[in-house]
Amino acid sequence: MKYYIKICVLFFLLFAMNSCKKVITLNLSSAAPKYVVEGSITDSVGTAQVLISQTKDFYADNSFVGITGAIVTITNDSGIVTTFTAIDSGVYASPLLVGQQNHTYTLNVIVAGQTFTATSTMPTKVPFDSLFITSNASFGSAKNVANVQYKDPAGKGNTAASYFYRK
């Protein structure tokens, strides 16, 4: 009987190791590289930075080389222009730029003769009332989720003409 169980286990292991071996390679079309610009400003000193890179084909290596030689500026709603300097390959920063709530900032990037522009308004900071962690068990694995509880600022709640703060 023990011999029969060992043979069954061995047969099962051999079957399991031989299944699902085929590698499927999709025939995806190549595309010309596009520039990717990521910018961030916070209300803390030394956090304003812009990252510039390019897209790659799906099967290309996953190393993204930063784009150098770009001209990066941010203009606030008062018309003050801040020029960013390159601190690394594809990383541009302005250590003295500090964002302010309810102010609008316009990012302007010129790279290889192309100009990219984006505008964003820094929302009002919302203090939270409490922070708690819940545990969700789904599909057999437990996950801890951080939750924040707060009240929307007056006049800026979840209405059609507001900022849509997420709860």
Condensed to tens digits (0 to 9), the pLDDT of residues 9-65 reads 777 776 766 666 677 788 888 889 999 999 999 999 989 999 999 999 888 888 888
User: Is residue 6 assigned to a domain?
Assistant: no
140 and 117 share a domain? no
Residue type, 93: A
User: Is residue 42 assigned to a domain?
Assistant: yes
Total of domains in the chain: 2
141 and 104 share a domain? no
Gap between the terminal Cα atoms of the chain: 61
Condensed to tens digits (0 to 9), the pLDDT of residues 75-93 reads 999 999 999 999 999 999 9
Instruction: Give me the residues paired with residue 127 across strands.
Output: none
147 and 160 share a domain? yes
User: Is residue 18 assigned to a domain?
Assistant: no
Q: To the nearest 10°, report the CA torsion of 92, 84, 97, 163.
A: -70
- Which are the contacts of 69, defined by CB distance < 8 A and separation ≥ 6? 111, 112
Domain span at residue 141 reads: 126-167
- Which are the contacts of 54, defined by CB distance < 8 A and separation ≥ 6? 33, 34, 35, 36, 64, 65, 67
